[in-house]
Chain A
Amino acid sequence: MHSFFKKYLPFSKAQMQEFVNYRAHAIVWVLMEFMFLVLQYFIWKAIYDNSPNEIINGYSFLGMITYVLLVRVVSSLTFVMPSEYISDDIRSGAIAMNLIKPINYRTQLFFKSLGDIVNSIVFFVIPLVVTLIIVAFFVDLEVTLTLPVILAFICSIIFAFTIRFFIGYIFGLIIFLTINSFGIFQLRRAIEGIFSGVIIPLHFFPEWLYQIALFLPFMQGLYVPVRIFMGNYETNTDILNALLFQLMWIGILYVIAIFFWKKAVHRLVVLGG
């Protein structure tokens, strides 16, 4: 176990070190995230100002703003790019350099992604949470936190990270088979945008669309932890069930990932000779 971490932690560390080299990139990224937040604030303000009801689909305006902020926090805490890494590795041929090392490619990507998460925490989540706390002093955000909720939220975030990692990884492996990554990325972005809850709460969907979302893994990586934090699950049993459901998805995705890896690695063509 000790040597396992010794072997793979350098990948996380390298990722963090490399990020520091691109300070400008980090600053632009943080700015973009905040601009996106401001944009969403005004969109929802316009919607609520023009609505006859103060509560839409169970969300008050403040509830919606809380949702939007939490979505930013959770998606930054689970933001992973394995499919981008795989695509880069295929394009540049670096995939070959990865396969000659005595390391598992998936585990390596996982630890690389962990490094990315630490970067997000330092550069984005911490400033955002500080903002959140300051805002909470002035306005009454619709969250009541209890210890079980916080613990469940932390668990759920870890599961969500793993789920999003596997989703990205599987899409990445599909690039192995198709070589062209652009279409796959567009597809993934569209599906994730709709079914993860990143744009609007899934409860805004018509029933049939919501039912589809329930059968897909995308909401497990974002919507579930957000709803746990917001206290939308009424009993502890509900929370526990949500967590178990996430775990089940990790299992399913793991099996799919193994299957695709076997397919992909046989088809591997190293580009550029």
Chain B
Amino acid sequence: MIEAKNLSKTFIKYEKGVGLKGMLKTFFKAKKVEKKAVDNISFRIDKGEIVGYIGANGAGKSTTIKMLAGILTPSSGEVIVDGNNPKKDRIKNAYNIGVVFGQRTQLWWDLPLIETYGILKEIYNVSDQDYKERMAFFNEVLDIDSFIKSPVRTLSLGQRMRADIAASLLHNPKVLFLDEPTVGLDVVAKQKMRDAIKLMNQKFQTTVILTTHDLDDIEELCKRIMIIDEGTIIYDGSIDKIKKDFGFMRQVEFEIKEDVTLDFKEKYKLSEEDLKVSRELNKISVQFNKNKISVSEITHYVMKHAFVTDINISETSIEDIVRNIYEKGHYA
């Protein structure tokens, strides 16, 4: 369905000088800086797959998506989406894809929401029958009827995102690109988004590429993930594997009142990979493998020896995993 071969995108930027003097200098002689946003990546995605595409901010996720959607021209390499070259056959490709950019909207800002769907119906030439059916479906999953008559600019973020995903699905695209669709949403709205994506995928075999910073999105929707860092794909494989390898790490942060010496190494006799402790004045941060020790053991141990004023327990975020992988320079 989607194939990328040796895809690269280089942006040319002009370095701007700082201050008035720098500005004047820039005005006459700007320094050209090349930035490789995407660096020689290749992948294949089959019909009906939901792939999580993750990486830190600026890693190259959005650039990749934009090349797949026909917005950006690759500097080199090739992309094929359902047999089309997205840039050359932009219009043909556009009928096949739906796109949601979490930070932008494709809705008509000043018009009642329903007008947007009317316009999209004409643009994509959706039949009356299909239109009715799909709108009913969206209402069922995303509950959009409750605000469909309001102007888009008056919608809350959660409503707008629900409306946006419905808009991207109205023409029943074969491929759906979701670029941080759940960013800034509350739990309920997130769940609705995920349900819609899941149902659409089951019903129509829609291929989905999803970029997100939310590990829960990925866990609930994707079987496969690709991790990109500094423009290169550093992991492409099943989520089960990466979870098995990294998802078991937990982090506990303690704030303690007086300084005490705690020797975790001595007590638990675990390797550096399973237990990592960092200290910073009155803060102790412990990263550990939850399969080897439990949270209660760790907290019990610390609380017995020190006066703890605050505890913060967190899961290893996807970013930590990415950083972890990147620091090693390779996967596993």
Contact = CB atoms under 8 A, between A and B. Distances in A.
A97 B106 contact: yes
Contacts of B108: 14, 18
Nearest to A9: B122
A268 B123 contact: no
A94 B104 contact: yes
A260 to B, nearest CB: 16
B36 to A, nearest CB: 14
A104 B92 CA distance: 11
Contacts of A214: none
Nearest to A17: B111
A7 B97 contact: no
Interface string A221-257: 0000000000000000000000000000000000000
B162 to A, nearest CB: 17
A96 B101 CA distance: 9
A3 B111 CA distance: 23
Nearest to A102: B94
Contacts of A100: 69-71, 94, 97, 99, 106
Contacts of B115: 14, 17
Contacts of B72: 268, 270
B110 A18 contact: yes
Q: Is the interface of A mostly helix, strand, loop or mixed?
A: helix
A92 B104 CA distance: 9
Nearest to B99: A100
A96 B104 contact: yes
B238 interface: no
A10 B118 contact: yes
A6 B122 contact: yes
Given A96-B101, A103-B123, A14 B111 contact: yes
Contacts of B90: 99
A94 to B, nearest CB: 7
Nearest to A22: B110
A93 interface: yes
Interface string B5-47: 0000001000000000000000000000000000000000000
B289 interface: no
A268 B90 CA distance: 14
Give the size category of B's interface with A. 20 to 34
Contacts of A93: 104
A92 B73 CA distance: 20
A104 B91 contact: yes
B58 to A, nearest CB: 8
B316 interface: no
A197 to B, nearest CB: 34
A58 interface: no
A51 interface: no
A102 B121 CA distance: 12
A266 interface: yes
Contacts of A101: 94, 106, 123
A159 B73 CA distance: 34
A273 interface: yes
A52 interface: no
Contact of B124 (A21, A102, A270, A273): A102
A143 interface: no
Interface string B308-330: 00000000000000000000000
A200 interface: no
Contact of A3 (B92, B110, B125): B125
B131 interface: no
Contacts of B122: 6-7, 9-10
Contacts of A269: 11
Contacts of A95: 71
A93 B72 CA distance: 13
A265 interface: yes
B151 to A, nearest CB: 7
A272 interface: yes
Interface string A85-115: 0000000111111011111100000000000
The 4 closest A-B pairs by CB, nearest first: A102-B94, A10-B119, A18-B110, A97-B106
15 contacts: A3-B125, A7-B123, A10-B122, A18-B108, A21-B110, A97-B104, A97-B105, A100-B70, A101-B123, A102-B92, A103-B94, A268-B72, A269-B11, A270-B66, A270-B72
